Structure 1
Amino acid sequence: MNRSTGPVGVRLGIVRGISYGMFGAPDSFVPEMRRLGGTLVRVYVYWSQVEPEPGRYDWTVVDAILGQLDPADEVWVTVCSAPRGRPGTGRAFCRRRPPTTCAGTSASSAIW
């Protein structure tokens, strides 16, 4: 095993958690991955981060990921998506705010 390339036949990488850029500015994590010998990045992006409201696009999170990559890096982007709200509930999916409770629910039933 070579520390800079990892075991023969095994690609090393990092998975950046499902909250990348959700609750603050996107951070830099790819340089640390490279120091560890990785060349594969997997990141989750919620469509609500790219299109926070219908017709308005914000590519900040995607640009932050792509701006950290070198040509030799490989990136897997998982785009998580859901309807903006369920009919009749008025609740949006994956809002950018801390959880709250809804009228008629117990205090321990938090929604996002």
Structure 2
Amino acid sequence: MKKILFIASIYPFLDGFEKNNIKICQQMGMKVYTAANILDTSTNIKYSTTNIDDLGVQKFNVDIHRSPFSLKNIMMYKKLKKFIKNEKINIIDCHTPIGGVLGRLLGKSTG
């Protein structure tokens, strides 16, 4: 079974723009994982993940910062790299500016 990881900075993006793609991947027999912020640490607002929960995907909370200069993104890169290797993810689907950069770097480093 193929495994796919959708990466975005925040869960509302996945909910608003990737829900149909997630459903398509599931219909193709893929196991779907998502990685994004559940909590906005700057405002302490918790994002709703109800629609993603309804799809039955595995969520991975990562504290991706929107600033490309944030050192916390390096920690998220390492955390995601370990996750990708442990779960043997085959496909990375990346969105949003920083999520996209992290996803592309992770794809290159994990093969």
**TM-score range relative to shorter protein:** 0.3 to 0.5
- Greater share of helix: 2
Would you tell me which structure has more strand in proportion to its own residues? 2
TM-score, length of structure 1 as denominator length: 0.41
Higher RCO structure (Cα 8 Å, ≥6 apart): 2
Larger Rg: 1
- TM value normalised by structure 2: 0.41
